[in-house]
Structure 1
Amino acid sequence: MPTQIRIAYPWLDRAGRLSRFKLAVFLLALAPGLWFTAAYALDQLGGKPLTAYLHAMGDWSVRFLILSLAVTPMRRIANAPKLILVRRMLGLTALAYALFHFTLYIVDQKFDLARVASEIVFRIYLTIGFAGLLGLTVLGVTSTDGMIRRLGKAWPRLHRLVYLLTALALLHFFLQSKIDVSKPVFWSGLFLALMGWRLMHHLKVPSTPLPLLGLSLAAGLATAGLEAAWYALATGVPAGAVLAANLDFAYDIRPAWWVLGVVILIVPLNLWQNRTTSGGRGPVARPARTVKA
């Protein structure tokens, strides 16, 4: 008899049962693409709808990439081991949005593949973006259980490239944003916070409220510094002026404050988790259980 092929639907657990958590994340992953597709079809994306559609898909690729990197810190900080169940899904969602982003770019170039190739070679921000896309594709292809077994100890080393690929994606985001880089600055600030947590973990700094508060403050300051450095190098605006703008709330709130506001939320979350797991007796260190995706 022929071998029966089992399809691993993303909303099922390993036993083939419906996982409400995975289904919810899967639907949330689909939502931005469906919304922008509908908005494009109904001509609700402004004067340049295809350009807006293209950029939105690229933006969401970066967001899901950052979310995938947030899984490991959050499962430890919040003692939520089940988050690991959706890490692969979030990474593949980031790849799917990136591929769709690139497809829309080809459509925008009227399917002139020679021109697309030329633009990738001669425009540095497209070169960087395409390199990131190729890297994400490699990680996507090697994310199956079979490839994990086949690659063995080489698999973790290969997939650590996600940090470099995220940096490339963010640099591509900066370069294509041109004048207003508030969005890439914000997401870069969150990336710096996630990498800061990984450094803390490597140095065996505990994920307790005080170190996490320090991490949130450092992430906010690093984001302000990144924004100032970018404008100084790219536009010649004095770094001091950009840093001073972070203290002027009359016009808007700079990305550094948004990063601080988001990252500092992990402090009360960690306090609540400690109180819950210790029955109100104070922090108790509990290792997160490993759950395969």
Structure 2
Amino acid sequence: MPLFHERSGKFSPEKTLFIVATTLPAVWLAGLAANGMLGARPWTEAIHFTGLWAIRFLAVTLAITPLRKLLSYPKLYFGRRIFGLAALFYAAFHLLLFVVDQGAGRALSEIVLRIYLTIGAVALMLLIALGATSFDGAIRRLGTERWNQLHMAVYGIALLGAVHFFLQSKLDVTEPVLMAGLFVFLFAYRIAVRLSGDVTPLGVAGLAVLSALLTAGVEVLWYGLATRVDPWLVAEANLSLDLGPRPAWWVLGAGLALALFAAQRREAAPARGRRRTAPATQTKIEAS
């Protein structure tokens, strides 16, 4: 099947957009490197850059199914494989840059001795397993049920990736908290679907509020346990916008925006249905 086409052979704007979106960070990184704009420690900057985009694309991969269902946009399905493979590519490149920077022997020693590197390596190995079985032939060989069971590992990968991100970031955990909050929201949505079978836009809004509260709690807990920063100051920062929106506010905003769009799509659905059935009804009347 051509890269930018559907199985039917029809050109897919969605697949093309997704593929272009996943290659842009690599092009951006190459441009920064070529122009000497990676700072005083270019290898470290490149390692952090690729790791950041790996976890971002993993979050996008997990968001595809909720977006597809809530927005009634089936062709978003193409993005799940594309963004998943992009997450694998950037994670593998992340490790490769680390090995080149440190040397193979020292890199292996660091991975064994440093727990956050061990966690990252395990997450990458699981991603490789999912990437190797993400194609149609592997699905046929494994069978749908076994394939689905294997790919449930993506939730564990997200958890390991978030922990690796936290431990690597040490003091400034704004971005790790944000990614953790988005994962919390996506996990909460899937749990709600399993329990109720469907999540209404109002339910999505409720999950957004709950996820934002948990995100704030994660940030307060981290600073309380891992640093000397007063956790009550972090809690106060989450209740105001004086220092700019904290990750909890971004999670809340993203969740509420999704709920709003989902509500609009549901309201528009009956009108779309009437437009589709009108020609058939008209044909029946004319035939009679």
TM-score by length of 2: 0.91
SS where residue 248 of structure 2 aligns? helix
Question: Which of 114, 123, 126 is equivalent to 1:135?
Answer: 126
SS where residue 141 of structure 2 aligns? helix
**Residue segments in structure 2 that go unaligned for 5+ positions in a row:** 274-288
Question: Which of 29, 35, 41 is equivalent to 2:28?
Answer: 35
> How big is each residue's C-alpha offset from its partner over 1:140-198, in whole Å with a ceiling of 9 and x where there is no partner?
00111111111112111110000001110111111111100000100110110000100
CA distance, structure 1, for counterparts of residue 3 and residue 63 of structure 2: 19
Q: Name the amino acid aligned to 1:217.
A: V
Q: 1:222 to 1:81 in 2, by over 3 A?
A: same
The answer to whether residue 217 in structure 2 is matched with residue 228 in structure 1 is no
Query: Alpha-carbon deviation of 1:205?
Result: 5.7
Partner of 1:209: 201
Partner of 2:97: 104
CA distance, structure 2, for counterparts of residue 30 and residue 280 of structure 1: 35
User: 95-104 or 46-55: which moved more?
Assistant: 46-55
Partner of 2:184: 192
Query: Alpha-carbon deviation of 1:246?
Result: 1.0
CA distance, structure 2, for counterparts of residue 149 and residue 71 of structure 1: 22
The answer to whether residue 45 in structure 2 is matched with residue 47 in structure 1 is no
Query: Alpha-carbon deviation of 1:53?
Result: 1.2
Query: Alpha-carbon deviation of 1:253?
Result: 1.9
Contact 1:223 1:255 in 2 (8 A): yes
Question: Which of 74, 79, 88 is equivalent to 2:67?
Answer: 74
Contact 2:57 2:83 in 1 (8 A): yes
Identity of aligned residues (%): 42
Higher relative contact order (CA 8 A, sep 6+): 1
CA distance, structure 2, for counterparts of residue 241 and residue 275 of structure 1: 43
CA distance, structure 2, for counterparts of residue 248 and residue 68 of structure 1: 31
Q: Name the amino acid aligned to 1:147.
A: A
Question: Which of 107, 111, 115 is equivalent to 2:106?
Answer: 115
Partner of 2:281: none
SS where residue 88 of structure 1 aligns? helix
Contact 2:53 2:90 in 1 (8 A): yes
Partner of 1:126: 117
Partner of 1:90: 83
Aligned length: 272
Query: Alpha-carbon deviation of 1:225?
Result: 0.4
The answer to whether residue 127 in structure 2 is matched with residue 146 in structure 1 is no
What is the RMSD of the two structures over their aligned residues, measured on CA atoms? 1.5
Partner of 2:282: none
Contact 2:208 2:252 in 1 (8 A): yes
Partner of 1:242: 234
CA distance, structure 1, for counterparts of residue 60 and residue 14 of structure 2: 16
Q: Name the amino acid aligned to 1:108.
A: D
CA distance, structure 2, for counterparts of residue 185 and residue 34 of structure 1: 27
Contact 2:14 2:76 in 1 (8 A): no
Contact 2:237 2:243 in 1 (8 A): no
Question: Which of 22, 25, 29 is equivalent to 2:18?
Answer: 25
Query: Alpha-carbon deviation of 1:63?
Result: 0.5
Query: Alpha-carbon deviation of 1:279?
Result: 2.3
Contact 2:56 2:179 in 1 (8 A): yes
CA distance, structure 1, for counterparts of residue 20 and residue 108 of structure 2: 34
Query: Alpha-carbon deviation of 1:207?
Result: 2.2
**Residue segments in structure 1 that go unaligned for 5+ positions in a row:** 1-7, 282-293
TM-score by length of 1: 0.89
User: 242-251 or 194-203: which moved more?
Assistant: 242-251
SS where residue 177 of structure 2 aligns? helix
CA distance, structure 1, for counterparts of residue 27 and residue 223 of structure 2: 34
Partner of 2:254: 262
CA distance, structure 2, for counterparts of residue 207 and residue 13 of structure 1: 29
Q: 1:142 to 1:280 in 2, by over 3 A?
A: closer
Q: Which structure has the highest helix share of the two?
A: 2
Larger radius of gyration: 2
